[in-house]
Structure 1
Amino acid sequence: MTLIKNISGFRGTIGGNNLENLTPYDIVTSISAFSRLIKENNPNLSSLTVMTGRDGRKSGKMIQSIVNSTFNSMGINVIDTGLSTTPTICWGVLNNYSVGGLMITASHNPEEYNGLKFFNSDGEFLSKEDVSKLIRYSESKKHIFSSNNSLGSISEYNRLIDDHVNAILDLDILPLEEIKKLKLSVSVDAINSGGAIAIPKLLERLSIKYNIINSEIEGVFNHTPEPLAENLIDLSKSIQVNKSDFGIAVDPDVDRLVFFDEKGEILGEEYTQVFCSDFVLSKNKGDTVSTLSSSNALKDLTISYGQNYHSTPVGEMNVVKKMKEVDSIVGGEGGGGIIYPELHYGRDALVGIALFLSLLVDKKCKVSELKSKYSRYYMKKIKLTLKDSKLIDRTFNLISENYSELSPNKEDGVRIDFDDAWVHMRKSNTEPIIRIFAEAKSQDIANKYALKIEKEIKSIIS
C-alpha cells in the first residue's frame, strides 16, 4: 500500500519498495526528520532524550532497533521500553525528562502493517504545523547526522507499564475499595499485544479475576485486530463459558476499548466514551469533546448534566486541542477512545477500564442493563476502497452540493444532518479508504442513509 503520512503518524505495509511502503529506508528518513524537528523545538537543551515502545507485531522489534539507532545517530538518547502501549508511552513522556516519544504500531490495522506514532514533550500527538514539517523533512534527501563524539545512547526501562498503572490507581476520582468489593470476573481479548501485559497488571491491583484470550505475544494476531463484533466472536464465547461479569477488548496498542455484557453481547465501541464520561460527569461538571463521527449519545448525556458538548474533526490531536480550548473534563473518539486529562491528554484504554469499573460501583446493575440507561442509537459503518485518492475532494464537493439545503459540515470530509439521522463521510487517516458513518434511532434508518450515500459516492468515482 501507499505509505500514509498524516496527523495520526506514518503507516504502511512492511517491505517492498522504499517510498511506497514502510521499509528500513523510510524508517531512517522518518526518524531523522523527527530528530531534526525535536532539535528545532528544543534549541536550548544540550542533551535530548526520547522514549520508544512497540506493540506485538512481528516487525516491531526490527523497527525499534532501527528507530533507536537512528535517534542515536542524530545525537539523541533513547529510553527503550520494549513491548508497551501507546498510552503508556504518552504518559511516560509527560512524566519524565523526555522531549518526545515514538510508538511503533499500526494500531487496529492487520499484522502486515506497522507504523510510527510521534509524540511531543507533553506526550501528545504533534500539532498540524509540526506534522507538516515532519512530512517535509522526511522527504528531504539530506540529513545531518552526529559525529562520533556526539552520538546518543540507549538505556532500557521495563517498568513503565507498572508506573502507568500506579498513576491510574492514584487518581482521586476512582473508588478503589468499592471496586474491589464488587468481586468481579472478566474475560479479556488482548489481541496478542501490549494489552496482554498491561491489563492483568491493572486488574490484579483491583482484585478482579480475569481470563485472557489471545495473550501470547509471538508476532501474530489471532484475528483481525480492530475491536469490532465480527472480530471478537471468541471473546463472546469466553464470557459465556467462564460466566464472566463482562468482557473487555482492546486494539494492539491499547488506545481503543470496547466492552461486552455478561451475555457475550458487545455494547458497541461508540458507547465506551458514553459510559466513562457518565462516571466523570457524575463527579465533576464540565464540557465534553468528541468527533464528528461519534454517537449523539454522548451529546445527549452531556446536555443531561447541563454541560456543553463539542465536536471536532476526527483525530486525537483535534480532540485534545478542543479539550484544552474549552477546559473539557473528559473527551475522546467514538471508536472506543477515552481521554481523561487528569492522567494525560491521550486515548487510554487502561484508564477507560478503571472508569468503567467505577461506573459499575455507582450503577449497581448488571452490565447488560447499562445501555438502557442512555439514549439508544444505531450506527452503520461502511468502508470504500480508493482507486484514485485524487477524486475524493471532487466527490465530497459534489455530495455537499447535492445536499446544500441541509448546510453540510465540511470541517472533515462531509457531515450531513438529516431530520432522522446523520451521515459523515471522510477519507481515513490510517488506510486508503473512504469511511461512511450513519447514525439514527433505528438500525434500518441508519442502514438506509449509509447505503444511499455509498451508492452516490460510487456513481461519482466509478
Structure 2
Amino acid sequence: MTLIKSISGIRGTIGGKPSENLTPIDAVKFAAAYGTFIKSRNVSKESLTVVIGRDARISGKMIASLVANTLVGLGINVIDLGLSTTPTVEVAVPLENADGGIILTASHNPKQWNALKLLNEKGEFLNGQEGEKILEIAENEDLTFAEVDNLGTYSKNNTYLDKHIQEVLNLELVDVDAIKNANFKVVVDGVNSTGGIFIPALLKALNVTCVELYCTPNGEFPHNPEPLKEHLTDISELVVKEQADLGIVVDPDVDRLAIISEDGSMFGEEYTLVACADYVLGKLGGGNTVSNLSSSRALRDVTKQHGGNYTAAAVGEVNVVQKMKETNTVIGGEGNGGIIYPASHYGRDSLVGVALFLSHLANKKVSCKTLRDSYPSYYMSKNKIELTPQINVDAILETMAKNYQNEEVNTIDGVKIDFKNKWIHLRKSNTEPIIRIYTEATSQKDADDLAVRFINEIKAIT
C-alpha cells in the first residue's frame, strides 16, 4: 500500500494507516492544505469557489465528500460536477469564474488507487513552486478553519457534460458537417469510468454510430486501465467483429486517447497526437508544436513537413504547457495520447482529440489504417534500471551526457541523446531509485538493442 506526495498532488491506495496510504485523514489534510493555499492567494476576495469532479472509481464518492466538506469548512464555496473528466473540470473552472479546481482521479492507476489533482484559477495544473507550498502547509498543518457563520456553500452542477461537448463542437477546426456525413461506426472502450459517459455522448452529437464496450461507470475496471496494446485485446477484436471504422480507448479520467484501426491493429498511442497535429497544421498552413522528450520523433517530422517548428519539453503536463506558451504553439501534448489544443484550453483532452481525429479522417476520406501508414514508422522500447539508494543517479546521467557530447544532447530533463535514426532518453524517477530508459528507432529490434546497449553501459559505471 502506498501514499505518494508530490508537487502535482497526492495519490495513494485506499485503506490502511494514515500517512502510509490515502486514508480519509490524508484526503482531508491535503484538501485543507490546498484550500488554505487558495485563500492565501486571494486574501482580498470575500468569497472563493473551487470546482471539483471525479472519475468513476469505487472510492470516488467517499473522497469527493471528504474533499468538498473540508473546503466548505474552510469557508470556500464548492461546485461539484459529480462524475466528470479531468478536461471537463479544467474547462469548468474558468467558465465558473472559480479560484481553483480539484479532480479526484488516479488516472491510469488500478482501482485501489485514488488521487487529488490540483488546478489554478485558469483550470491548469499548479506549477512546482505552488505544489511545494501546498506540501509545506500540509506538513506543518498550518490550517485555520472558518467559524460557523463563515462556512462555504456546496452545490451540484450536472450541466458540464453538455457544456464540454458544446465547447468542443464550437471549435473552428472541428468539422462537424464532415464527420456527420462520413457515417462513421466506432467502438468505445470507456474502461467502466466516465469516458463511458462522455465519449459516447460526444459521438452521438456528431451522428457517429457508437458501439459501447465497458462503458458502465461503476469503477470496476475490466482490464488494466492504462491504454496500452497488451490491455486492449477485447476492443481490437470487437472493432473487427463490428466492421467498425475505428476504436476509441480512453483512461479513467479521459485525458489520454488511444485509437484502434479498422483491422484491430493499434494506431499507436504515440500517433494520436501526430495525427491531430497533422490535421491542425494542415488547416492552419503550419505552426509550432511541442511534446515531451519521451514522445515520438514522428511529431517533429510532421511539423517540419508543414513548415513549422517543433520543441521538446521536460516530461510532465505542466512543463509541456509552459513550453507551448513560450513558443506560441498551436497544438501539443504528450506521446501517451494526451492532446493539448490551446484553442480549447491548456490541458490534455480526449474529447478534443476525438473531434480533431474524426475531422482529419473525414476530410482525408481514407481508412484509419491508411492514415496510420502515411506517417513515419518508429518503434519504442521502455525499460528501467533499478539502483540502490546510495548510487548517485545525477552523476551517472552527467557521465552519459559527456560520453556522447558529439551527438545532439538535451539535458533539460535527464539526458536525451539524438542519433541519426534513433534516440534514447534517460531520466531518474522522482519516487524510487531507478533510471527510466526510453528508446525509439525505425525498427523494434534497433530500439530494443539501443536500450540494452545503454543498460550495459550504465551498469559498467555503477
Query: Which is further off, 339-348 or 7-16?
Result: 7-16
CA distance in 2, matches of 1:360, 1:275: 9
Query: Which is further off, 372-381 or 350-359?
Result: 372-381
1:193 Cα deviation after fit: 0.5
CA distance in 2, matches of 1:92, 1:452: 47
The size of the alignment, in residue pairs, is: 461
Aligned to 2:347: 346
Contact 2:197 2:217 in 1 (8 A): no
What whole-Å deviation, never above 9, does each CA across 1:39-65 have from its counterpart, x for those lacking one? Answer: 122222110011111111111111111
CA distance in 2, matches of 1:77, 1:371: 47
Structure 2: which 5+ runs fail to align? none
User: Does residue 6 in structure 1 map to residue 6 in structure 2?
Assistant: yes
Contact 2:381 2:451 in 1 (8 A): yes
User: Does residue 172 in structure 1 map to residue 172 in structure 2?
Assistant: yes
Task: Read off the aligned partner of 1:308 and give its amino acid letter.
Answer: N
Task: Read off the aligned partner of 1:149 and give its amino acid letter.
Answer: D
User: Does residue 138 in structure 1 map to residue 152 in structure 2?
Assistant: no
Aligned to 2:65: 65
Contact 1:8 1:430 in 2 (8 A): no
CA distance in 2, matches of 1:147, 1:124: 30
1:399 Cα deviation after fit: 3.5
Task: Read off the aligned partner of 2:268 and give its amino acid letter.
Answer: G
CA distance in 2, matches of 1:437, 1:154: 45
Q: CA RMSD in A?
A: 1.9
Percent identical: 48
Aligned to 1:124: 124
Aligned to 1:51: 51
Query: Which is further off, 393-402 or 178-187?
Result: 393-402
1:279 Cα deviation after fit: 0.9
Query: Which is further off, 344-353 or 279-288?
Result: 279-288
Contact 1:73 1:151 in 2 (8 A): yes
Aligned to 1:92: 92
Cα separation, partners in 2 of 1:263 and 1:326, compared to 1, 3 Å: same
Cα separation, partners in 2 of 1:23 and 1:386, compared to 1, 3 Å: farther
Query: Which is further off, 137-146 or 199-208?
Result: 137-146
1:429 Cα deviation after fit: 6.2
1:392 Cα deviation after fit: 3.7
Cα separation, partners in 2 of 1:407 and 1:277, compared to 1, 3 Å: closer
1:311 Cα deviation after fit: 0.8
Aligned to 1:150: 150
Query: Which is further off, 19-28 or 397-406?
Result: 397-406
Structure 1: which 5+ runs fail to align? none
Cα separation, partners in 2 of 1:323 and 1:443, compared to 1, 3 Å: same
Aligned to 1:42: 42
User: Does residue 449 in structure 1 map to residue 450 in structure 2?
Assistant: yes
What whole-Å deviation, never above 9, does each CA across 1:126-170 have from its counterpart, x for those lacking one? Answer: 122211211211211331111111111110111212110011011
Cα separation, partners in 2 of 1:375 and 1:452, compared to 1, 3 Å: same
User: Does residue 298 in structure 1 map to residue 306 in structure 2?
Assistant: no
Aligned to 1:436: 437
CA distance in 2, matches of 1:389, 1:210: 53
Contact 2:255 2:338 in 1 (8 A): yes
Aligned to 1:239: 239
1:268 Cα deviation after fit: 0.8
CA distance in 1, matches of 2:447, 2:277: 24
TM-score (norm 2): 0.95
1:426 Cα deviation after fit: 2.2
CA distance in 2, matches of 1:161, 1:219: 19
Query: Which is further off, 82-91 or 13-22?
Result: 13-22
1:459 Cα deviation after fit: 6.1
Contact 1:7 1:429 in 2 (8 A): no
Task: Read off the aligned partner of 1:332 and give its amino acid letter.
Answer: G
Aligned to 1:380: 381
Task: Read off the aligned partner of 2:317 and give its amino acid letter.
Answer: E
1:428 Cα deviation after fit: 4.7
CA distance in 1, matches of 2:440, 2:54: 35
Contact 1:8 1:315 in 2 (8 A): no
SS across alignment from 1:276: helix
1:385 Cα deviation after fit: 5.7
1:374 Cα deviation after fit: 1.6
What whole-Å deviation, never above 9, does each CA across 1:341-388 have from its counterpart, x for those lacking one? Answer: 111110000000000011012211111101222222111112456764
CA distance in 1, matches of 2:198, 2:415: 37
CA distance in 1, matches of 2:226, 2:63: 22
1:215 Cα deviation after fit: 1.4
1:433 Cα deviation after fit: 5.7
